[in-house]
């Protein structure tokens, strides 16, 4: 078994409620977040006969009304707070240099 990454751990927590209600012939539409397109998620969907459609990165706001009408205003207010945190001494970085 391979190493479990942060994305896989998140999918393990979030996926069961979605997966348990899906039956063969259903479709899940995801954005391209790593947890949504992990091998584990693909395998679970394939085993249950659930088809996956992935919205390519950068296109989500154009096809999800919630991103435009609801989340955009939230993200606009939260972005300066996150940017300030990233520039502060409180931020920890991954080996790849990401906060």
User: Which value, to the nearest 10 degrees, does the dihedral of the CA atoms of residues 6, 57, 31, 45 take?
Assistant: -80
Residue 27 structure tokens: 């479709």
pLDDT for the residue 3? 46
pTM of the predicted model, to two decimals? 0.45
Q: Is the pLDDT of residue 23 over 70?
A: yes
Mean confidence (pLDDT) of the chain: 76
**90 or 6: which carries more pLDDT confidence?**
90
CA distance 60 to 22: 22
Q: How open is the CA angle 81-8-24, to the nearest 5 degrees? A: 115
List strand residue ranges (DSSP E) for 1-99, in order.
27-31, 51-55
pLDDT single digits (tens) 38-84: 888 888 888 888 888 888 888 877 777 666 666 777 788 888 998 89
Q: Where are the domains of the chain?
A: 1-57, 64-99
């Amino acid at each position: 078994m391979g190493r479990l990454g942060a994305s896989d751990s998140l999918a393990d927590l979030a996926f069961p409620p979605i997966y348990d209600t899906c039956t063969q012939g259903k479709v899940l539409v995801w954005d391209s977040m790593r947890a949504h397109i992990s091998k584990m998620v693909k395998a679970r969907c394939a085993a249950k006969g659930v088809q996956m459609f992935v919205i390519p990165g950068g296109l989500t706001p154009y096809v999800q009304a919630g991103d435009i009408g609801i989340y955009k205003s939230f993200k606009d207010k939260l972005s300066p707070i996150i940017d300030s945190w990233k520039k502060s001494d409180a931020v920890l970085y991954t080996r790849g240099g990401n906060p």
